[in-house]
Amino acid sequence: MKITDTSDLWWKSAVIYCLDVETFMDWNGDGVGDFAGLAHRLDYLAELGVTCLWLMPFYPTPDRDDGYDIVDFYGVDPRLGHFGDLVEVIRIARDRGMRVIADLVINHTSDRHPWFKAARSSRWNPYRDYYVWRDSPPAHDGAPVFPDQETSNWQLDEKTGQYYQHVFYKHQPDLNITNPLVRDEIAKVMGFWLQLGLSGFRVDAVPFLLDESGVIDGAKLLPDPHAYLRSLRSFLGRRSGEGVLLGEVNLPRDEQELFFGGAEGDELTMQFDFIAMQNLYLSLARQDAGPLIAALESRPAGSPDSQWANFVRNHDELTLDKLSDAEREEVFAAFGPEASMQVYGRGLVRRLPPMLDGDPRRIRMVYSLLFSLPGTPVLFYGEEIGMGENPEAPGRMAVRSPMQWNSEPTGGFSAARPSRLRNAVVPGGYGPAHVNVESQRRDPDSLYSFIRGLVQHYRNAPEFGWGAFAVLPQSHPSVLAHSLTWDDRTVVVLHNFSASPVSVPLDLGRAHAGCRVSDLLTGATSSLSASGRTTIELDGYGFTWLRVIPEGERLEY
């Protein structure tokens, strides 16, 4: 068997775990999570099998947008600790085999950032051109990102009599990347954190970073905004041989390919696959694998070194904006029929287990998909134990509740009184009394144990991160059957989106005649026919991961 060196592209087979320091573990008892608490929970993440830790913003902030409104790109919010605490987390993570990446939020700042304070002091201030200004808003402007909060992308600054652009909230003025000084500052920010030990960045809102539509002076526009993204990737490569740029790009497929850099693969290293995620939920609602299959087959080929990041849930609303209106209503009806469960008219503020009514068969099938689809799996904290959302929290904060470590009233997150927590714990049946790490770690049949097992099998099968993907023809609309082949190794994976059991006739072709297939999850083996065929029995919401073992070879794990 041919073995290829994969060490330089570690992210191709990583397990990424996203967390917010302030909701993960509070070590000093003030009601806010901190780096000291995270340091004490890194062994837990290593035990789960996490290989890359993604930290949501930890920079100094007025905290009007959960940390995405930043007043100092070079600092650590004092509520969370100090530089020494952060460096200790990075060091311990490295010792446990985990790299650390962090949110890079460079399309805007807080309106309390020193740059913006200086910029709005007068029209002639040197920092004025760090932001985008107009005498009046454009006649035709895009819709606000948060239509329930903002009515325009422009806000009047009364002192200077001009409007500044803010694609997000009015307290988050947009940076002007046509200004070379701003581009230099962004490079310095990246270089600073790479020098401190980060292995890359999750780049926030990448299309908005490259958007120059608000700039009036055409002479200042960049000849090619994507050339700027390529320069950031090049800078990352010079400063860190292992660095990764994981981009948030929720766009149609043809535009997503541009952000990878096409066949050259010289822009973003990875992108979240928003289209596959949204169609996963449509497939779940219909009990039909077709929408997900179509989404996976629509992925652009791109560079073999580019990678998709697969996810079930993230820290924002579960957006469904790339579905048609009718499709979105199907998902709403199935998983979020109440207005309080929906947000911005385009998404859901729910976690997976409550959406699936706690059905362990469907929940496990979805996470089996997450770890067996081509690409890199990304977990949002608490998914491994089946945390639910807090329906009493506003908007996106519903899924940003404290991590549930044990059955105590605060879930073991903090020694503070529940009333002192910045974010309340999940109430009711998905609260800490029923869903927590402590009880699930002792239970071999728990969701935690199941996902930990999936992580181990995923890490032992490089085909999932590296393999060539193909949908296998079969007769059941409810079934996704696909193969992943890397070097001379192949895995075949089947998932049943229906509650009804099915018998799936599978034809792997004469090239596999005489081979055996071994179920990676159960250890059961069977042989293919002389024509390379077999029949796979799947329960309702059932799944199987099969290793194809050539004739005469022993099973490898």
Contact criterion met (CB below 8 Å) for 116 and 109? yes
The pair of three-digit structure tokens given for residue 6, joined into one six-digit string = 């994969």
Helices (H) and strands (E) in the chain, counts: 17, 22
Write down how long the chain is. Answer: 557
Compute the distance between CA of residue 264 and CA of residue 318 in angstroms, rounded to an integer.
31
List the one residue out of 455, 479, 475 whose CA is nearest residue 540.
479
The pair of three-digit structure tokens given for residue 81, joined into one six-digit string = 């600790």
Is residue 22 part of the annotated active site? The answer reads no
DSSP state letter for 175: B
Compute the distance between CA of residue 382 and CA of residue 23 in angstroms, rounded to an integer.
11
Is residue 204 part of the annotated active site? The answer reads yes
The pair of three-digit structure tokens given for residue 278, joined into one six-digit string = 């949204």
Contact criterion met (CB below 8 Å) for 108 and 168? yes
Compute the distance between CA of residue 202 and CA of residue 253 in angstroms, rounded to an integer.
20
Compute the distance between CA of residue 386 and CA of residue 430 in angstroms, rounded to an integer.
8
Phi and psi of 2, rounded to 5°? -80, 135
The single residue of 248, 267, 273, 463 carrying the catalytic annotation is 248
The letter for the amino acid at 185 is: E
Q: Can you spell out the DSSP letters for 363-414?
A: HHHHHHHHHHSSSEEEEETTGGGT----TTS-GGGGG-PPP--SSSTTTTS-
The letter for the amino acid at 123 is: R
Compute the distance between CA of residue 272 and CA of residue 203 in angstroms, rounded to an integer.
11
Rounded alpha-carbon distances, angstroms, from residue 301 to 175, 271, 298, 375, 470: 32, 13, 9, 13, 12
Contact criterion met (CB below 8 Å) for 207 and 258? no
Q: Which helix (H) or strand (E) holds 535?
A: strand 533-538
Say how far residue 121 (Cα) sits from the centre of its chain.
38
The single residue of 20, 26, 204, 257 carrying the catalytic annotation is 204
Query: Catalytic positions, please?
Result: 204, 248
